[in-house]
Structure 1
Amino acid sequence: MLCCLNPDCPNPINPDGNQYCQSCSAPLTYLLRGHYRVIKVLSDEGGFGRTYLAEDVDKLNERCVVKQLAPKVQGTWALNKAIELFKEEAKRLQELGRHSQIPTLLAYFEQDSYLYLVQEYIEGQNLFKELQQRSQFNEADIRELFMYVLPVLNFIHEHGVIHRDIKPQNIMRRAYYQYRNYRGTNPPSNPPSIPNLREPTSGIPAQGDIVLIDFGASKQLTATVQSKPGTTIGSFGYSPIEQINGGEAYPASDLFSLGATSFHLLTGVSPFQLWTEYGYGWVNSWRQHLKQQISQELGEVLDKMLKKDINQRYQSAEEVHRYLNLGVNLGGTPSTMPSRQIPLPSVSLHSANNKQPASSKNKPTKPKSTVKFLALPLFIRQPTKLIKSVLVTVGVLLVTLAATQVYGYMRYKVFPVAPVFLINSLQSSTFLKQTLAGHSSYVMSIAIAPDGKTLASASSDKTIKIWNLDTGDEIRTLKGHTEGVVKVAFSQDGRIIASGSNDRTIKLWDIAKGEEIRTLKGHTDGVTDVTFSPDKKTLASSSSDKTVKLWNLTTGAEIRTLKGHTSRVTSVAFSPDGEVIAAGSNDKTIKLWNTSTGEELRTLKGHNDTVTQIAFTPDGNTLASGSADRTIKLWNVANGQEYRTIKGHTDAVWSIAFSFDSTMLASAGSDKMIKLWNPFNGDEIRTLQGHDSRIWSVAFTTDGRTLASSSEDGTVKIWRMTP
């Protein structure tokens, strides 16, 4: 296959024999600069080009990464600035790429009016993917991470570079066979397929195992050329306040991000989600999310790395290294410790020469004896992987070999109680219709058109994708937001989509043309939800600025602002007759207003944590609310009384949806499960499992036969309700 290099091409993959792109008709480049064969789009750089996967035919088809500069900017100054910064990025990578833990720059050139830089391709997987497989890391893993990452941070900081976007997705673990080859030894004849399945090999330095990627050419360009001064560079939750508020970054900023990354890996809890709920307040209570005990030493280190005030943090990677006294030289020469060996976490880990650092007198008293590293086999260190693999294999086998008969035998002859893994395996295979993958980051919201034929998905990758719900084909991608898109909604006639974003705006889109109609501005913080009124004349939006705004869809003018909540408003919904508008909030309450007058009607209280989403039944008599307190509550709209609490989720509920006939209520959340309930008696109908991470959104088709769900794992799943 061959990839079209037109940065606006919606479907760039072509058969080898084509001379022109079958999607956009642009001429195809068989070999870029005579020897780079581009085969796949890795990411879209938000109006500045794309990043591709390519093969170097002059090096036995060795894979590499090709970054393209194709800026969509207005004015000569902006264009020249974009080119200047791209060149600076290439120079910076050329210098930094000499380090074994940073991708090497292979080429920089211009062709067909575009600029390109070519980098080393890192074979392996990032720590976010590894976390999805393992659920959480332990203290020994975090110390190992520090041992690998602190030297490379020290290196780039000494060269005047701040990474500004450290998170699990940007830390790669090299695959074993590439890692061995990279260090000059022959790869094994049958290399393991999973990157972290590697034998300890004492002759290989440990540091090359971890690679820091994405030094942010596109982020630098976006901030300098396209946006206002002080624009945020980084990722919410992982980036410190000085980056988010003013765009400033220092070595201590990267250390905050490393601390947030370590927290995510230790707990499995996303700093992004905590940030959206509590702002920077989460850094003061991060320990409450721990599911395992950690040493006092590591706790103190994370406390200091996660300080909101930059002056209270460590100011250099060397300080962190010195405090933890890791078994590797910070200057970049690793010890001879075997790869993936695990240090004992409860005592001080001394360097090879056993010398205490100069500042050790200020540290807590610890045992003076040197402790050796303990290497443990993978199946002992990570037993859950083995168990999961066995269960998945058994489940697939049962489905393949006459699932009903085998299950019946196992159920009644072997197990006195139906085994959960058998039930879940059979349910998933029966009800999961297809998986839609195309977004490069979390899929925060989905909506289904009234005709049940089209699905829209919104992502933190700043795009909205439109899908054919029957075939699963991507129809088009809508771009225009400058930050993550949090919510998406269809108008009642299915012709318009509204999208709300962290960039504080709402955009209206013409579905047929794929064009932006209008941008609504007025919120002073990120938009959290959007919904159309039943009469098609009004749009409601909620925001982290604690308000709900009503907009005239014809003119785009703001009608009124509804105030009353004391914290972030998370969800908004019109009653089916359009006379009442409801909103849920981080303040644990739901407020109802008269749509016409803006008068507050009542406040519903009962949840013990954030109200994450609300939904009316189609008859308008009942309001349902999902909450971070793990429950769903049903309320009588007429008198405001709670009449049922539904329990069953083991973590926060992020989304709820009624079927059109009100006979089924779907809920989903951080426990990665979708639960279907009978809303009349609160009984659970079934549980659907398949997502690898928390589920942000669920939606029914109007006929109730199909349910869609979106997740932090970057996918949308389509489920049959009638197998």
Structure 2
Amino acid sequence: MKVLLGATQLAKRSDVTEEHGRRDLRDNLESDFKKGDSPAEWAPGHPVAWGHEQWKFSSGEEKSVTSVSATSDEKYFAIAIDDTLVIFEVDGYKLASVLKTGDGPIKSIEFARKPSEDTYVLACQYGDQYGRATNVKIWLLDQDCREIDPDKKIVVEGYLPTFAPSVFSSDCKTLLLLATTTDEWGSHLAIVALDVQTGKEKFRMTGHTDSIMWTGFSPDDKFIASAAWDRYMKLWSGEDGKFIRDYGPTGAQNWACAFDPEGVNLAVTTGAHRALMWRIDDPQSFPIALAGKVGWERVISNSPDGTKLAIGSADGRLMVHETKAMTLIQVWQLGAEIGGSRWLKEVTEIKWLDNGNRISWTPSDGSLQMYDFETNMKWKWAAGKEDKWRRGAWFNTVVLLERKGLIGSRDQDGAFRMWKIPEK
């Protein structure tokens, strides 16, 4: 395993100019962001190829980075590779600690929001789900991101939901995972709420009759929502897990949900080429159907100021809705390659910056992209023609350290790169 520091990667390449960037990395688009009638413009020096990142973590071609996460105070970030968690300080990229599961590769990790001044909480899913049980482990770490008590093991059999942006409650006291349960419909996954400090089950939510794709808390922790392939979205009490109501049927498999910042509206993406939104306090109301959908939509996100809702789809499309009138205001759409397919370019990650004035996303084409709604400027960091990478869809692979001016991504060559966020 190697750690490659940015200073060894910053040599200027002759194919990059400060004015134009890499022309061969410009997208083949069917639709681009725009302001009024003016299409988005490339920022000076963009697109930029790999090799100009500020910092890089790689193990060569041996193992790929599988998941990344950062602490809410932006002091540390963790990288998962095989059965190992490597934690770095953000300032100076110094190694802080190394943790091992000791039993199978890691699939996903997440830091909870910092619960106190001197502790961190990190959740990890690991194990071979195709051969033996998959487990969730909770690490309690000190202010230096080292294990507080190595002898205290919090390990529970289960899964972390793939498409949920956070498995923790906002007060960091509860973690949601998926575990197998058996009831009148047979064996399937239920939602389990765990006490973060003890690992004990607080309550269990059952009722979905097919695979559960998403579960998460409302912003105030009052509710828990879940979405499944049984065509229903369910709402539960965040206090005791008591079932409140169903939303649906939606007409297709459900994938991902999003509460708005006020916790008033709840949206769900489906496989029926549409997303639906309900008011939580009015179960009798008809849902609002959001237009412009094609194919699977497995990522959905509200801007921090609540004015925009973004949805990514499997055909390389990113759609942005204005939430007051629920109108479609922006569509970014990758075109199909010659001899290729747009369906290999799913948008799998959405991050908001500058309180919703900027958006960043990752289509599955080996790139990290960003757009500024105010300046109509766009940026792209991507694999060059000489870089080796592979197609595929990975989720929860971007780390945003906005106060530090950094954004990092697990890229499709298996490495993790940290880039400087462009200044306003």
Is contact 1:489–1:531 with CA below 8 Å preserved after alignment? yes
Which one of 418, 430, 437 corresponds to residue 81 of structure 2?
A: 437
The Cα of 1:611 is off from its aligned counterpart by 1.6
Which one of 289, 293, 298 corresponds to residue 612 of structure 1?
A: 298
Is contact 2:48–2:381 with CA below 8 Å preserved after alignment? no
Partner of 1:463: 135
Partner of 2:185: none
Residues of 1 paired with 2:228 and 2:270: CA distance?
Answer: 10
Partner of 2:368: 674
Is contact 2:348–2:362 with CA below 8 Å preserved after alignment? yes
Alignment deviations for residues 686-712 of structure 1 (CA, whole Å, 9 cap, x no partner): 326698653222455575545565689
1:695 is the counterpart of 2:339: no
Structure 1 or 2: more strand by fraction: 2
1:107-506 aligned within 5 A: 400=8, 403-404=10-11, 406-407=12-13, 411=16, 423-428=48-53, 430=55, 435-439=79-83, 440=104, 443=107, 447-451=110-114, 454-458=121-125, 461=129, 462-466=134-138, 478-481=155-158, 485-486=161-162, 487=164, 488-500=166-178, 503-506=188-191
1:517 is the counterpart of 2:216: no
The 1:418/1:579 distance shift into structure 2, 3 A limit, reads closer
The DSSP-based 3-state class of the residue aligned with 2:51 is helix
Which one of 623, 642, 653 corresponds to residue 328 of structure 2?
A: 642
Residues of 2 paired with 1:613 and 1:529: CA distance?
Answer: 10
* Residue identity matched to 2:250: H
Alignment deviations for residues 4-34 of structure 1 (CA, whole Å, 9 cap, x no partner): xxxxxxxxxxxxxxxxxxxxxxxxxxxxxxx
* Residue identity matched to 2:80: L
Residues of 1 paired with 2:230 and 2:412: CA distance?
Answer: 24
Is contact 2:264–2:280 with CA below 8 Å preserved after alignment? yes
Which one of 605, 625, 637 corresponds to residue 311 of structure 2?
A: 625
The 1:701/1:671 distance shift into structure 2, 3 A limit, reads closer
Alignment deviations for residues 353-385 of structure 1 (CA, whole Å, 9 cap, x no partner): xxxxxxxxxxxxxxxxxxxxxxxxxxxxxxxxx
The 1:712/1:558 distance shift into structure 2, 3 A limit, reads farther
The Cα of 1:622 is off from its aligned counterpart by 0.9
Is contact 2:5–2:55 with CA below 8 Å preserved after alignment? no
* Residue identity matched to 1:684: K
Residues of 1 paired with 2:5 and 2:15: CA distance?
Answer: 13
1:69-108 aligned within 5 A: none
Residues of 1 paired with 2:246 and 2:359: CA distance?
Answer: 31
Is contact 2:168–2:174 with CA below 8 Å preserved after alignment? yes
Residues of 2 paired with 1:597 and 1:703: CA distance?
Answer: 36
Unaligned runs of 5+ in 1: 1-395
Higher relative contact order (Cα pairs below 8 Å, separated by 6+ residues)? 2
The DSSP-based 3-state class of the residue aligned with 1:609 is coil
Aligned length: 321
Which one of 570, 582, 607 corresponds to residue 255 of structure 2?
A: 570
The 1:590/1:419 distance shift into structure 2, 3 A limit, reads closer
Residues of 1 paired with 2:395 and 2:223: CA distance?
Answer: 25
Larger Rg: 1
The 1:412/1:679 distance shift into structure 2, 3 A limit, reads closer
* Residue identity matched to 2:371: W
The Cα of 1:434 is off from its aligned counterpart by 6.4
Partner of 1:561: 246
Residues of 2 paired with 1:678 and 1:429: CA distance?
Answer: 21
The Cα of 1:594 is off from its aligned counterpart by 0.9
The DSSP-based 3-state class of the residue aligned with 1:525 is coil
The Cα of 1:585 is off from its aligned counterpart by 0.7
The DSSP-based 3-state class of the residue aligned with 1:661 is helix
Alignment deviations for residues 276-301 of structure 1 (CA, whole Å, 9 cap, x no partner): xxxxxxxxxxxxxxxxxxxxxxxxxx
* Residue identity matched to 1:639: A
Structure 1 or 2: more helix by fraction: 1
1:654-673 aligned within 5 A: 654-659=348-353, 661-673=355-367
The 1:701/1:630 distance shift into structure 2, 3 A limit, reads closer
Alignment deviations for residues 47-70 of structure 1 (CA, whole Å, 9 cap, x no partner): xxxxxxxxxxxxxxxxxxxxxxxx
Is contact 2:54–2:420 with CA below 8 Å preserved after alignment? no
The DSSP-based 3-state class of the residue aligned with 1:618 is coil
Residues of 2 paired with 1:450 and 1:471: CA distance?
Answer: 16
The DSSP-based 3-state class of the residue aligned with 1:426 is coil
Alignment deviations for residues 501-538 of structure 1 (CA, whole Å, 9 cap, x no partner): 68421121222333333221111111111121122111
Unaligned runs of 5+ in 2: 26-46, 58-76, 84-103, 181-187, 336-341
Identity of aligned residues (%): 19
Q: TM-score, normalised by structure 1?
A: 0.39
1:686 is the counterpart of 2:294: no
* Residue identity matched to 2:310: A
Structural RMSD (CA): 4.1
1:30-69 aligned within 5 A: none
